[in-house]
Amino acid sequence: MSGEQPGGWRVFVDSTRCIGSGICVGAAPRHFALAGGLSRPLEEQIDPADEVLDAAESCPMEAIIVSDVEGSRIAPEP
């Protein structure tokens, strides 16, 4: 599966949905930071990481979208 290849995931934070709860930073501090009260990914393309899936699934606003390089959604689960 391409989502498991190095650099095979893309991380996006929808700034119109994000409320800056910081749950993502707590779950995956190597991948997210708060800037101006909103979350942002430290890198848009990453190697697969379970903590990023946890952050996406834990986001109360479902503002974090994780997809593979082809654009297929990985998390949060619909």
Instruction: Quick: pLDDT tens for 1-39.
Output: 444 445 799 999 999 999 999 999 999 999 999 999 999
Cα–Cα distances in Å, from 21 out to 1, 5, 6, 7, 37? 32, 30, 29, 27, 9
Q: Domain 2-70 is of which CATH architecture?
A: 2-Layer Sandwich (3.30)
DSSP state letter for 48: -
**50 neighbors 74 (Cβ within 8 angstroms):** no
Rg (CA), the chain: 11
Instruction: Quick: pLDDT tens for 30-65.
Output: 999 999 999 999 999 999 999 999 999 999 999 999
pLDDT value at position 6?
55
Q: Where are the domains of the chain?
A: 2-70
Identify which of 40, 64, 69 has the alpha carbon closest to the alpha carbon of residue 52. 64
pTM listed for this prediction: 0.88
Of 5 and 76, the one with more pLDDT:
76
pLDDT value at position 68?
95
